[in-house]
Amino acid sequence: MVENVKELLKLHEGIKREVYLDNENSSVVPREVLDTMLPYYNKMAYGNPTLTHKPGWEAFKAIMESSQKISKFLGANILEEINFTPGETEANNLALMGAAFANPNKGKKIVIDEIEPINVMNVTEMMKKYGYTTTKVPVNQEGLVDLEKLKEAVDKETVLVSISAVNNEIGTIQPLKEAVAIVKDKNPGALFHTDASDAYGRIQLNVQDLKVDMATISSYKILGPRGIGALYIKEGLNVEKIIEGQIGTQKLWPGIENTPLIVGFTKASEMAFNNFDANVSQMRAMRDELADGILSKMTDVKLNGPKGDKRSPDNANISFLRCEGEALTIELSLKGVYISSGSACSRRLLQPSHVLVAIGRRFSEAHGSILMKTTRYHTEEDIKYVLDVLPMSVERIRGIVGSTGVD
């Protein structure tokens, strides 16, 4: 198998330009972030932050300063509200299980929307074993949560509601403040969690203003290192840890703190927030050039998700009809353009993206969908290159499809 991959990589030799647009699934870490992290491995703060020596105290200081900075970016009240976890998957698991298990008196019903990320879906599915039920609130064709249905779904038995601030696949920005108000009005005791991984660093986000109880954020989604994320938990809220071990500075996540990753996450956050408007406007300009270029120049294409202000500034999700997505990801890879697809072929369960299905896309539309996310580092030349190679790549795949499956 490794030999196969070596051969595959060899086929990529001679690529003229590389444009990475698969920021949904992993990202390139900027030099400044790496430079910030490096000394924390061997020059300072390499100790365990709970121990009584200089490298330990240095680590303690670095972690507390990081919590302080991230709490400010999130609009949290105090630094103790920031709980580092190894990523957004772990933060979402902690939020859902940790809050539900710690509050058995609140009931056993969980309410989510039907386009939540897979990790939220899977946790709620698993929690059935412990007697929890899940209601999935529908979304409209733009992916916006049906607030009336949300109101209907929440009752006295509802312990927890989880709705992403921004959908990770189609970029829909949810009316979170309204959703929280509706939930709290119906049941003041119900807890509200949001996976804000795709909102952090891209849209205005203030946990106190939104009045959410918990919020997940992720490092790699803002060009920080992978393997680190955080869960904001409002002060005083009862959440229990979901894994056991030696507790350190992170009361809800046992094990030795990964100081360099925490510092890298913080540096990436600073870089995203210190020039927030300029960063967002660059990612938006590049996204618009990319999406508008495809939608105006190519035929049989369809934008998935909302347009304008309801959409995250980095997200472009487009379906190419009569084109299979996985084949297209390979074709484009060979030309140095890296994307991902919502095709059933690129997934294990042989089922297309649940998000695209939920917004009413037909299987054939999901079959040829690709997801691209721009960053502040993309340039006009990058986008021009993508727009140059994309049409011929799509046409070649369409040539293989011919009339098969076309209705």
Catalytic site positions: 345
**C-alpha separations of 270 from 2, 28, 68, 333, 375 in Å:** 38, 16, 12, 32, 15
DSSP letter for each residue of 15-61 = -S--EE--TTT--PPPHHHHHHHTHHHHTSS-S-TTSSSHHHHHHHH
Q: Is 322 in the site for another protein (CB under 8 A)?
A: yes
Measured in degrees and rounded to the nearest 5, phi and psi for residue 269 equal: -65, -45
β strands within 196-335, DSSP E: 214-218, 229-233, 301-303, 315-320
**Terminal-residue alpha carbon distance, the chain:** 38
Q: Is 14 in the site for another protein (CB under 8 A)?
A: no
Q: Is 345 in the site for another protein (CB under 8 A)?
A: yes
Least Å distance, CB 166 to another protein, is 20
Q: Which one, 104 or 405, has the nearer CB to another protein?
A: 405
Residue from 16, 31, 129, 348 that binds another protein (CB under 8 A)?
Answer: 348
Residue from 330, 338, 384, 391 that binds another protein (CB under 8 A)?
Answer: 330
Least Å distance, CB 23 to another protein, is 15
Which two three-digit tokens encode residue 44? 């300072």
Residue from 64, 147, 256, 401 that binds another protein (CB under 8 A)?
Answer: 401
Q: Which one, 183 or 358, has the nearer CB to another protein?
A: 358
CA distance 373 to 387: 15
Of 46-54, 94-102, 304-312, 339-347, the window that binds another protein (rule: CB under 8 A) is 339-347
Residue from 33, 95, 327, 372 that binds another protein (CB under 8 A)?
Answer: 327
User: Helix axis angle, 276-297 relative to 259-274, nearest 10°?
Assistant: 80
**What residues numbered 113-132 form the site for another protein, per CB under 8 A?**
118
Q: Which one, 73 or 320, has the nearer CB to another protein?
A: 320
Of 91-99, 168-176, 218-226, 350-358, the window that binds another protein (rule: CB under 8 A) is 350-358
Q: Which one, 271 or 328, has the nearer CB to another protein?
A: 328
Give the DSSP H or E segment for 381. helix 380-401
CA distance 286 to 290: 6
CA distance 181 to 11: 54
Q: Residues in the site for another protein, rule: CB under 8 A?
A: 1-2, 4-5, 7-8, 11, 118, 322, 324, 326-327, 330, 334, 343-352, 354, 357, 360, 362-364, 367, 399-405, 407
